[in-house]
Amino acid sequence: MQSQVLNYSTAKQDDGTFRLDAEHYQEKYLRNQKQLLDFGAVPLHSMISRPVMTGHTPSKKIDSYYGDDVAFVKTDNLREFKITGGFSHRLSQKGNEIIKRSELKKSDLIITIIGATYKIVGRSALVRAEDLPANINQNIALIRLKKGYSPEFLSAYLNSDIGKLAIWYLSRQTEQVNLNCREIEKILVPKVSPEFASIIGNKYEDAVLFEHESRAAFLLAENLLLAEIGLNKWHAKHQIAFVKNYSDTEQAERIDAEYFQPKYEAIIEAVKAYKGGWDTLGDLVTVKKSVEVGSGEYLDEGIPFIRVSNLSPFEITEEKYVSEKLYAEIKQHQPKQGEILFSKDGTPGIAHYLDVEPRKMIPSGGVLRLKSKTNKTNNEYLTLVLNSILVKEQINRDVGGSIILHWRPDQVKETVIPILAEKKQTEIQTKVIESLSLRKQSKHLLECAKRAVEIAIEKDEPAAIDWLKDQVEV
């Protein structure tokens, strides 16, 4: 057990507040604060153009507030450096008007202020043009800087280890970890030269460019697939009225109209009519279920427990953890290189290919492990198909009408997959590999930007610039 003695006068003078919680005075926080003050850091409030504020949740009892094109950003959508998709709600213009004060603009920064663990609190991202229109709920705070301050530099700093310690120092642990807006304004931010801030900003912009190129390569791969199937100009059309035979409902064992929408039939018929042939996913891969450990087993650190919200085609994030002891008991669920992690619940249809040996982790019950058992498809091609509209529309058919989306493993196995010629699969595979490589380069640049900020604080700006040059050249 660690302990230290703190004078009453020190606690009273600390930062203008009177904190008695021991967590606030951990040595790592105090050491970090001293390092920042020695560097010449200043409170964030001196840099902002308006007071930090949170969003709000418009009444869910009023349907007209929801269901349009304004992304409603919540904690699950805010990750390090970025706003992810998969929004559980979108606002209408009317709903957005209710909370217009927190409507996001390009170059705003947003930060999580409430979460179950410290790893959730303090996640921040710079708002990009492609994120808009968007607004935030009450668990996220909005930071808008004055002109002349670099939002890219501030984003790199807040996501660095030093920045996170500065954030967590001001937070408090009750039932959850939380911060308020005035505390956000007290976060110490290092004062750096405009030249150094510009260098960090340029690396951030390069990372964004790589990410855009990654998306373009992935989209091109999907377009190659759809063009081969003859669906590159196809658009889903929802029909209000259509006719189906009673025998069709008997065969499908479904009577809901959504299941029989002609748009789903068009997708499946196109795949089955493909000249190269098709197969079901269950004939192409083995399907292994994962495990649900229960929230009582969640820890702040340990072995990553991968839920659907942590999964994307490009990366796996971490949020929940389990103990080494529990991992040893359930390690048969450890994913292996060459497998595809595939979501079946919540947001079904997210596929992530493990092209290298993965770190220790346990996938949740909402994630399946797929492993190829034939040579009909290569893994990158199959991952692309699973993430494409071909499979997403089959999922929509199977889970349509459900409040909580749940795609049964037997339905997963019946998904139809086109079998393209090896040459065409290789062409698609090349684009997918290019996309993944570009995404890794983007992530590398962001990590370098964070570390360069830390080196500038720990040593000086020239040392940080020299280190950054070496890393970028590598």
The pairing of beta strand 177-178 with beta strand 78-79 = unpaired
Q: How far apart are CA 204 and CA 132, in angstroms?
A: 19
Tens-binned pLDDT, residue by residue, of the chain (474 aa): 555 655 555 555 555 565 656 576 678 889 999 999 999 999 999 999 999 999 999 999 999 999 889 999 999 899 899 998 778 889 999 999 999 999 999 999 999 999 887 888 999 999 999 999 999 999 999 999 999 999 999 999 999 999 999 999 998 877 788 899 999 999 999 999 999 999 999 999 999 999 999 999 999 999 999 999 998 776 656 555 455 554 555 555 555 555 656 667 888 899 999 999 999 999 999 999 999 999 899 988 899 999 998 999 999 988 889 999 999 999 999 999 999 999 999 889 999 999 999 999 999 999 999 999 999 999 999 999 999 999 999 998 888 656 678 899 999 999 999 999 999 999 999 999 999 999 999 999 999 999 999 999 999 999 999 999 999 875
Helix 161-170 vs helix 422-458: crossing angle, to nearest 10:
70
Residues in contact with 23: Cβ distance below 8 Å, sequence separation at least 6, in sequence order: 172, 173
CA dihedral for 267, 272, 275, 276, sign (positive or negative): positive
C-alpha–C-alpha distance, residues 72 and 228, integer Å:
36
Contact 190, 39 (CB under 8 A): yes
Can you tell me whether residue 73 is helix, strand or coil? strand
Q: What is the DSSP letter of 341?
A: E
| Number of residues that make up the chain | 474
Distance CA 110, CA 52 (A): 10
Q: What is the CATH number of domain 216-429?
A: 3.90.220.20
| Tens-place pLDDT, residues 389-409 | 999 999 988 886 566 788 999
Q: Does domain 1-191 correspond to CATH entry 3.90.220.20?
A: yes
Dist CA 178 CA 368 (whole Å) = 34
Domain segments of the chain as ranges = 1-191, 216-429
1-191 and 216-429 share one fold: yes
Other C-beta atoms lying within 10 Å of the C-beta of residue 246: 8
> What is the predicted pLDDT for the residue at 246?
46
